[in-house]
Structure 1
Amino acid sequence: MPRILIVGGGYAGFYTAWKLEKWLRDGEAEVTIVDPLPYMTYQPFLPEVAAGSIEGRHAVVSHRRHLTKTNILNAKVTYIDHANKTATVQPLVGEPYPFEYDQVVITAGAVSRTFPIPGIADQAIGLKTIEEAVAIHEKVVGNFDKAALLPPGPERDRLLTFVVVGGGFAGIEIFGELRSLASALLDKYPTISFEDTHFHLIEAMGRIMPEVSLKTSHWVIKNLADRGATIHLETQLQSAVDGHVELSNGMSFDTDLIVWTAGVMANPTIVRNTDLPIEERGRLKVRADLRVGDDDGFIDGAWGAGDVAAVPDLSGGGVGGFCVPNAQHAVRQGKLMSKNIVAVLRGEGPKDYNHKNLGAVASIGLGVGAFQSGKIGITGLLAWFAHRGYHGLAMPTWERKIRVVTGWVNNFFLGRDIVAIEALQHPRAVFEEFAARPKPPAAAAPVEPAAVPAASSNGRASKVKADKAPAGAK
């Protein structure tokens, strides 16, 4: 039975496995998915998780719950030797081992792309994982808790100053959602005023959100400005050492939270450790039919999709002729790739991926959104409803949809969750503080000097301590 190895369990990998379970006949192929995480993260919901509008666990999809016919390995693939159709698998526990396959599907996704700016590696946090989104929420609410106890001053300002780097969709969404969260928190913290909170977004280009029209982007800038947030266009971050931010426009300030959203790059763990062809930007070379290769030919048994792959955009709307790295493309590529793999296994021809971007929709705070499809731009409450409607439907599996929508309904009646559990970062701290420990061994008692015999006056021997012997003792 042919063995299909899927490297990466994100959008493209999850949907490939999910649809292979649907299209493959019983016994037609064995599918294995390898990912160190046991779930797929629905990344468009990360800003709302950070803002407390969605429970973190509801924004991920369990592999084991929904991939019932797929072998799931919580591990990393550290090398792909396609010449011998073997991958090196490093499990979370134990030694690495070789995994032989007949078809390999590379959907390892992307990671945050940073620049060697002083302080960023030590101070900033990305927005690619559910763990990062939850940590951002804990940090913002936790900082309000701390600042509420301090008098006005530099430390209080540092705790209430929040920075986002990158003005793309991810950056604008997290920026707007955090501004919305901070505004909602003010009612619960009477010692903190609106003017005490400071939000800065840093964008090197002359505009934000290139996916929308200039008119729509200007509306977003004005809306955020009216809500007390500052966007620095044509500005570069020069340093962030110890949280001290220095900008190319001469401004500087201290902050306790820097969220980095200024670009992504293909997962280097895979693209730097394989004999498959890689293009100049570090992505897997993929044809329009999602097989690895180029116009001159393809490599048998190798497939790629999602952010890790340079997939040609036949619709003509891509940047540089390739599909942009977003969820919309990754999901649809995964669905088509499953059909193409099945077609090849049955001796049929694969189809080309051709999808025209349907548009872009963003939430920039509770009740505020922006939508763009072609020349049609919608902003405000209607766009916000469009955002929730689209992503509520796009979330895979009914189980997850119900959990997310139920959370939204609960928030409508109960308000957003503002609890911060920062202790999750160090869950054993309290236990360690009060846990009983063995007492150190008692110090040994001083050793008494050895006794020596001494002659008594009656001729019998008596014991006398050496240092107490009379002067005439022999």
Structure 2
Amino acid sequence: MPRILIVGGGYAGFYTAWKLEKHLRKGEAEVTVVDPLPYMTYQPFLPEVAAGEIEARHVVVGLRRHLKRTRVVTAKVTGIDHANKVATITPPVGDSWQQEYDQIVVTAGAVSRTFPIPGIAENAIGLKTIEEAVAIRDRILTNFDRAANLPAGPERERLLTVVVVGGGFAGIEVFAEMRAMASSLLKNYPQLSFEETHFHLIEAMGRIMPEVSLKTSEWVLKDLAKRGAHVHLDTQVKGAVDGNVELSTGEVIPSDLIVWTAGVMANPTVVRGSDLPVEERGRIRTRPDLRVGTDEEIVEGAWAAGDISAVPDLTGKGVGGYCVPNAQHAVRQAKLLAKNLTAVLRGELPSEYIHHNLGAVAGLGLYNGVFQSGNIALKGLIAWFAHRGYHGLAMPSWERKWRVIGDWWHNFWLNRDNVSLQAVQNPRYVFEEFAARPRPAQPAAAPTEPAIDPKSVEAEKSGKAPASTGAAAS
């Protein structure tokens, strides 16, 4: 039976395995998915998780629950020797092992791309995982609690200041969602004022959201300004040491929360550990039919899709001639990859991937959004409905859809759940504080000299022995 190894269980990996289960006949192939996490994260919902609008567990899809005929391995692929069709699997516990395969599908996704700016690695947080989104939400809520106990002044405003780096879709969405959440929190904190909350977005280019028209992006800037958010265009971050964000303009912004959304790069662990061809931006070189290779040469038995791959955009609208790394392409590439892989196993020819962009939609906080498709642009409430409608339908499986829709329904009537669970990152703190511990061992007492009886000394000198203590006792 042919062995198919899928490296990565994100968008592209999950959908490839999910669709292979539908296309492959029973016993036609053996499919294995390897990922360090046992779930897929629906990343377009991360800004809403960070703003407390969706329960964190509802935007992840359990691999074992939804992949019924696929073997799921929770580990990392740290090496790919495609010349010998062997991959190195490294689990979090135990020894690594060699996994043989006949077909390999590389869908390990992307990670946050950063630059060697002082303080960023130590103080910033990304927005690529569900854990990061939860940490951002809890940090904002906890900082409001702490600020409410402080007198008005610089330290209180530092806790209430948020800096987001990167003006793409992810950056704008989380920036707007956090601004909306902070505004809604103020009614519960009468000690704090709107003027003490500061939100700054730093963008190195002269505009935000390059996926939409310039006119639409300018509308977003004006909308953010109305809500008290500050966007710094043509500005770079020079440092983020000790909670002070230094900008290229010379301005310094004291902040306790720095969110980094300034781009992504292909998963370096998988790319550098493989012998598959790589293009100049560090992505796996992929053909339009999603097989690894070039127009002139095919790497037999190797496939790639999603953010880790450089797939030519046959519509001619891709950046640099390639599909941009987003969920829209990853999902559709994965669906075609499953069909093509099944076709090749059956001796048929694969099809080429071609997808015309459906447009871009973003949520900008409750009841506000923006949508762009060609020359059509929607703004405000109708765009917000379009955003929720599109992503609600795009969420994999009806089981997950109903959970997300349920969160939206509950929040409509009950408002968002603004409770910080930051202590969950150290869940044993209460137990440790009050747990009984063994008393420290006492040092052994030093031996003491026996007391000398003066009468005994006198008796010895006179030659008379004293009565024994034993006889006296008797």
Q: Into which bin does the TM-score normalised by the smaller protein fall?
A: over 0.9
Report what 1:135 is aligned to: 135
What amino acid sits opposite 2:78 in the alignment? Answer: T
Q: CA offset at residue 458 of structure 1?
A: 4.4
Q: What do residues 351-394 of structure 1 show as CA deviations (whole Å, max 9, x unaligned)?
A: 00000110000001111100000111111000000000000000
Compute the RMSD of aligned alpha carbons: 1.6
Identity of matched residues, %: 70
Q: CA offset at residue 286 of structure 1?
A: 0.3
- Residue correspondence of structure 1 range 87-106 to structure 2 within 5 A: 87-106=87-106
SS in 2 for 1:122: helix
Q: C-alpha distance in 2, partners of 1:79/1:204?
A: 36
Q: CA offset at residue 460 of structure 1?
A: 8.0
Q: What do residues 245-268 of structure 1 show as CA deviations (whole Å, max 9, x unaligned)?
A: 111122112000000000000000
Report what 1:406 is aligned to: 406
Report what 1:182 is aligned to: 182
SS in 1 for 2:199: strand
What amino acid sits opposite 2:84 in the alignment? Answer: N
Report what 1:467 is aligned to: none
Q: Assess, with a 3 A threshold, how the Cα gap between structure 1 residues 459 and 53 changes in structure 2: closer, same or farther.
A: closer
Unaligned runs of 5+ in 1: 464-474
Report what 2:472 is aligned to: none
Q: C-alpha distance in 2, partners of 1:440/1:135?
A: 38
SS in 1 for 2:242: helix
Report what 2:152 is aligned to: 152
Report what 1:293 is aligned to: 293
What amino acid sits opposite 1:179 in the alignment? Answer: R
Report what 1:336 is aligned to: 336
Q: CA offset at residue 461 of structure 1?
A: 9.5
Report what 1:118 is aligned to: 118
Q: CA offset at residue 450 of structure 1?
A: 7.0
Q: CA offset at residue 459 of structure 1?
A: 5.5
Report what 2:449 is aligned to: 449
What amino acid sits opposite 2:284 in the alignment? Answer: L
Q: Give the length in aligned residue pairs.
A: 464
Q: C-alpha distance in 1, partners of 2:450/2:151?
A: 69
What amino acid sits opposite 1:215 in the alignment? Answer: K
SS in 1 for 2:170: helix
Report what 1:60 is aligned to: 60
SS in 2 for 1:240: strand
Q: Assess, with a 3 A threshold, how the Cα gap between structure 1 residues 189 and 460 changes in structure 2: closer, same or farther.
A: closer
Report what 2:367 is aligned to: 367
Q: C-alpha distance in 2, partners of 1:8/1:332?
A: 16
Report what 2:255 is aligned to: 255
Q: CA offset at residue 236 of structure 1?
A: 0.7
Report what 1:471 is aligned to: none
Superposed structure 1 runs of 4+ greater than 4 Å apart: 450-456, 458-463
| TM, length-normalised to structure 1 | 0.96
Q: C-alpha distance in 1, partners of 2:362/2:202?
A: 18
Report what 1:86 is aligned to: 86
- Residue correspondence of structure 1 range 155-304 to structure 2 within 5 A: 155-304=155-304
Q: C-alpha distance in 2, partners of 1:296/1:323?
A: 20
Q: C-alpha distance in 1, partners of 2:301/2:39?
A: 26
Q: CA offset at residue 424 of structure 1?
A: 1.0
Unaligned runs of 5+ in 2: 470-474
What amino acid sits opposite 2:222 in the alignment? Answer: K
Q: CA offset at residue 462 of structure 1?
A: 6.3
Q: C-alpha distance in 1, partners of 2:447/2:64?
A: 66
- Residue correspondence of structure 1 range 349-360 to structure 2 within 5 A: 349-360=349-360
Report what 1:469 is aligned to: none
Q: What do residues 50-69 of structure 1 show as CA deviations (whole Å, max 9, x unaligned)?
A: 00000000010000100010
